[in-house]
């Protein structure tokens, strides 16, 4: 966690982000963790105590540079698939071709999630990621 916190605190925050990042230690419950479950542990702990705009900033701006070189390469690539899909789905507009690509990305993400993190972590929320493109098609951007 110290390595992640150090990287997080080194990031120069652009003016468009209203809050500077809090350290991951600010997330309660940090004890030990298995590296293979790092992303699940980080996101779950952050979800408990971070504000929505802090979680958005973590996902869109901080997480990829902070986790690069810390997560094993296969886990990092898996995580960046998720980040890429979320960034696109949260943009101002998206094309049908992009939605089709994101649908495939999120399906692949879900299938690999069980392999990387275990069936016990494949919750309904993870499954529902597969349907985000349907939500955007019906009701518009996230």
Average pLDDT, integer, range 21-30 = 64
User: Would you call 102 exposed, middle or buried from its count of C-beta atoms within 10 A (0-12, 13-18, 19+)?
Assistant: buried
By three-state DSSP, how is residue 41 classified?
A: helix
* Per-residue pLDDT, 138: 94
* Per-residue pLDDT, 94: 94
CA-to-CA dists, residue 3 to 24, 43, 68, 111, 136, angstroms: 10, 16, 11, 29, 37
Token duo for residue 14: 């652009």
pLDDT higher than 50, residue 30: no
Angle at alpha carbon of residue 84, lines to 79 and 85, rounded to 5°: 100
* Per-residue pLDDT, 35: 46
Cβ atoms of 106 and 130 within 8 Å: the answer is: yes
Tell me the C-alpha distance between 105 and 81, whole Å.
Answer: 7
For the stretch 108-141, pLDDT in tens is 999 999 999 888 888 898 999 999 999 999 998 8
Tell me the C-alpha distance between 133 and 107, whole Å.
Answer: 11
Average pLDDT, integer, range 49-60 = 81
Cβ atoms of 21 and 58 within 8 Å: the answer is: yes
For the stretch 74-114, pLDDT in tens is 999 999 999 999 999 999 999 999 999 999 999 999 999 99
By three-state DSSP, how is residue 70 classified?
A: coil
| Confidence tier at 27 by pLDDT (50, 70, 90) | low
Mean pLDDT over each residue of the chain, to the nearest integer? 84
Q: How long a stretch of residues is the chain?
A: 142
């Amino acid at each position: 966690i110290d390595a992640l916190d150090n990287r997080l605190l080194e990031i120069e925050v652009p003016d468009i982000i209203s809050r500077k990042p809090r350290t991951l230690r600010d997330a309660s419950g940090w004890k030990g963790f298995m590296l293979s479950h790092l992303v699940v542990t980080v996101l779950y702990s952050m979800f408990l105590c971070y504000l929505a705009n802090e979680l958005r900033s973590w996902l869109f701006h901080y997480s990829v540079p902070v986790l690069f070189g810390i997560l094993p390469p296969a886990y990092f690539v898996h995580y960046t698939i998720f980040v890429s899909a979320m960034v696109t789905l949260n943009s101002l507009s998206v094309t049908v071709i992009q939605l089709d690509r994101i649908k495939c990305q999120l399906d692949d993400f879900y299938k690999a999630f069980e392999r990387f993190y275990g069936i016990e972590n494949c919750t309904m929320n993870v499954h529902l990621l597969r349907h985000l493109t349907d939500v955007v098609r019906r009701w518009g951007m996230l």
